[in-house]
Every structure is written in structure tokens, then in C-alpha cells.
A and B are shown apart, each in its own frame.
Chain A
């Protein structure tokens, strides 16, 4: 158990819909990361938040947005869903704010299926 909690574990929805994935980081971790794992793209970095502020951005679509709340949990919002958005979405957390790269602790993922 990494200590990172993601909900829901599974989600099935239709094209054009909007969903929200939730992540609670490990106790004390200030950084939250979102990754997408799909068959064709592999594991891709989407976005990182540190203590409520966006810190790094990857290949995140404009239809996707994220935020980190004062209690440090994070939400990833996916809208106007397309079939190609079907993937496993991971949240990870770390304590590192600067300096050497820290170990990322990954949650179990939220599997999104768009029909």
C-alpha cells in the first residue's frame, strides 16, 4: 500500500461526458502528479501540483484540467470525453519540493472506459 488513494477505481461513461477523478496523496506529501497509461501512448505525464500550485505540465489536453485543494487532495477533470481517453489514470505523490528527484508513490489508478 503506497498510501496514495484514488477514486473511483473503475469508471465507465459515454463519449461527450465529463468525469472527475480524485486523489488523496500520502500524508505529508505536498506534490501530486497525474499520469495517463494507455496502450498506444504508454505512461505519460500530465501535470504536477505542489502545495496547491501548478508546478509542471506535460501532454495534458485542453479538455482536461486539474487542481489541488488546500487539504492537498487533487482532482483531475476530463471533459468532452472521446473513445481515445480510455486509459488508466494514475496519481502519484512525493514530498520533494526541490533538490534531488524524489521517489514517486503511485496510487492504484482509476480505469476509465469511454463507450
Chain B
């Protein structure tokens, strides 16, 4: 069975602080994909990043960076110099065993991030 655990239910920091959101996953498949999605107060889910299991390179996109470590089954997300607009619920997700285009995303419970001015 696949599982995604986001142990941090809520995080609150002051603007400009760096913050890391943790994600630990479980899967028996050797090929899988990890995702991060953002859900702002308006409610929609916004795609942030996709990473496949064969690519352990860290990725940086502006103030966002992701650290993928297969050895610890983790895919952590760091926001540098946080801003109030980063306040949202962030979801880590996993999909694997893709057959003929069938794709089921398994989501973690989400981390509610609040950036205080």
C-alpha cells in the first residue's frame, strides 16, 4: 500500500523566515512520482513540482526548493524568506504503478502554513 505522511499539521512563522515542510512516503514500487500541491485560502489546488523516483537531484525554483532523498523516503519542501502570500495548505502526493495511463494520487494530510507579517 502507498502512504504519504506529513507529520506537521500546522506551522506558523514570521515573514522572512525559512520554513521546511516534511513529507515521508511509502511505496513498494521502484518507479513512482512525487508531487507537491498548494491549496491557498481560495481553495483550488495548485501544482508546484513533480519528481520521479530516478531523479534525486534537488530542485530550486525561486524561493522554493525541494530535497528528495530515497534513502529516507523523504521529499521535503523548503520556502526561503517566506512571505504572507505563501500562507496556504501544502500537500505532498505520490503516484506509482501507472498502467495504461491509470493514475491515482495518494495525498498526505497536508500542512497548514501561516506566515505572519
Rounded to whole angstroms, the CA-CA distance of A45 and B105 in the bound complex is: 7
Say yes or no: A97 contacts B44, CB within 8 Å.
Answer: no
Instruction: Pick from B15-23, B62-70, B78-86, B93-101 the stretch touching chain A.
Output: B93-101
Say yes or no: B103 contacts A48, CB within 8 Å.
Answer: yes
B27 interface residue, CB < 8 Å from A?
no
Of A97, A102, A104, A111, most B-chain CB atoms within 10 Å: A104
Q: SS class of chain A's interface: helix, strand, loop or mixed?
A: strand
Number of A-B contacts defined by CB within 8 Å: 71
Say yes or no: B47 contacts A94, CB within 8 Å.
Answer: no
A108 to B, closest residue via Cβ: B44
Of A43, A45, A100, A108, most B-chain CB atoms within 10 Å: A43
Which A residues lie within 8 Å of B98 (CB)? Answer: 98-101
Which B residues lie within 8 Å of A55 (CB)? Answer: 100-102
Say yes or no: B100 contacts A101, CB within 8 Å.
Answer: no
Interchain nearest-CB distance for A23 vs B (Å): 13
Which A residues lie within 8 Å of B101 (CB)? Answer: 31, 50, 55, 96-98
Binding site for B on A (CB under 8 A): 2, 31, 33, 35, 42-45, 48, 50, 55-56, 58, 88, 90, 92, 94, 96-109, 111
- Name 16 extra pairs, CB < 8 A, besides A31-B101, A48-B103, A111-B43: A42-B109, A43-B93, A43-B107, A45-B106, A48-B102, A55-B102, A56-B103, A88-B43, A90-B45, A98-B98, A101-B50, A101-B52, A101-B95, A101-B98, A106-B46, A108-B44
Interface CB pairs A-B, < 8 A, 27: A2-B46, A31-B101, A31-B103, A33-B103, A33-B105, A35-B105, A42-B110, A43-B91, A43-B107, A43-B110, A44-B107, A48-B103, A48-B104, A56-B102, A56-B103, A56-B104, A96-B103, A100-B52, A100-B98, A101-B98, A101-B103, A103-B50, A105-B47, A106-B37, A106-B45, A108-B44, A111-B43
